[in-house]
Amino acid sequence: MFRRAVDHDPRAILAIVEAQEFLEAFGALKGEKLAKAPQGYAKDHLAIEILKLRQVYVARSFSDM
């Protein structure tokens, strides 16, 4: 489902995850990544690095202060 959404509108997801505010808050997307493009997706897809993720998560640290 996630890959279909990314494939359907890669520019939208890239605009979000590459936005300065997102990167400052969470950093880059994290998750275990496939070595190659997933089956059914072109290796030159605009968002191939996101499509390679087997799971997707972001994290944010908070101080105790």
64 lies in some domain: no
- Distance (Å) of CA 51 to CA 27, 36, 38, 42: 18, 10, 7, 10
Range of the domain at 40: 2-51
For 22-49, the pLDDT digits (tens) are 999 999 999 999 999 999 999 999 999 9
Domain tally for the chain?
Answer: 1
Domain contains 31: yes
Predicted pLDDT at 49? 96
- Residue 59 within a domain: no
Tell me if 30 is assigned to some domain: yes
Does residue 24 belong to any structural domain of this protein?
A: yes
